[in-house]
């Protein structure tokens, strides 16, 4: 049976790591609930005002409200046109029932197969007509793309 060597550097490192982890574990439980969440007569509005720069009647709070009001300015007339351009692509209850992506026409092609011989033991195949679509899959137009014939 191997003997435990207390002077081995690996043993010392493992011991230091164990002690450090126990200290960290014990320090995590050292705070109290009252210290972490103090009780008092302050409301959430008081906490909010304090975080926003003081009480609601101070000059810094007034400056903050003025800056927020500047951000809430109405749209300029030239910006309203850009919204109208995008309104065609916006989903609403009215246009939701209509498809924005129209199906592109997929015409049927008619092919006539002439009479022929087929197979390893040539068997006569009579001529016939078959119909198949031009495109393998259904194709869709982009919104606003023209779908009617030119």
Q: What does the pLDDT look like over 38-70, one tens digit per residue?
A: 778 888 888 777 776 555 556 777 787 888 887
Q: Are 138 and 101 in contact (CB under 8 A)?
A: no
Average pLDDT taken over every residue of the chain: 77
Domain ranges of the chain: 9-71, 77-133
Give yes or no for residue 75 having a pLDDT over 90: no
Q: How far apart are CA 134 and CA 136, in angstroms?
A: 7
Q: Which residues contact 102 (CB under 8 A, 6 or more apart)?
A: 140, 141, 145, 147
pLDDT score at 51: 73
- Residues in the chain, total: 150
pLDDT tens for 129-145 read: 999 999 899 888 887 77
Q: Cα(114)–Cα(129) distance, rounded to whole angstroms?
A: 9
Rounded Cα gap, residues 20 and 28, in angstroms: 13
- What is residue 6's predicted lDDT score, i.e. its pLDDT? 65
User: Can you tell me the distance from the alpha carbon of 86 to that of 57, in angstroms, rounded to the nearest whole number?
Assistant: 42
> What Rg do the C-alpha atoms of the chain give, in angstroms?
39
Which whole-number Å values give the CA distances from 93 to 68, 97, 98, 100, 124, in the listed order?
33, 7, 10, 13, 60
Confidence (pLDDT) at 45: 82
The model's pTM is 0.30
User: What confidence score (pLDDT) does residue 29 get?
Assistant: 66
Coil, helix or strand at residue 116: strand
């Amino acid at each position: 049976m191997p003997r435990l060597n207390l002077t081995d550097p690996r043993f010392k490192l493992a011991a230091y790591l164990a002690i450090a982890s126990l200290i960290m574990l014990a320090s995590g439980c050292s705070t109290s609930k009252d210290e972490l969440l103090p009780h008092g007569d302050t409301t959430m509005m008081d906490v909010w005002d304090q975080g926003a720069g003081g009480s609601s009647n101070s000059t810094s709070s007034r400056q903050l409200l003025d800056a927020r009001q500047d951000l809430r300015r109405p749209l300029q007339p030239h910006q309203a046109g850009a919204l109208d351009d995008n309104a065609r692509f916006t989903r609403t209850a009215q246009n939701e029932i209509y498809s924005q992506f129209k199906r592109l026409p997929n015409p049927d092609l008619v092919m006539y197969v002439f009479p022929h011989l087929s197979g390893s033991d040539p068997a006569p195949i009579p001529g016939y007509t078959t119909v198949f679509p031009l495109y393998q899959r259904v194709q869709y137009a982009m919104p606003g793309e023209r779908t009617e014939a030119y």
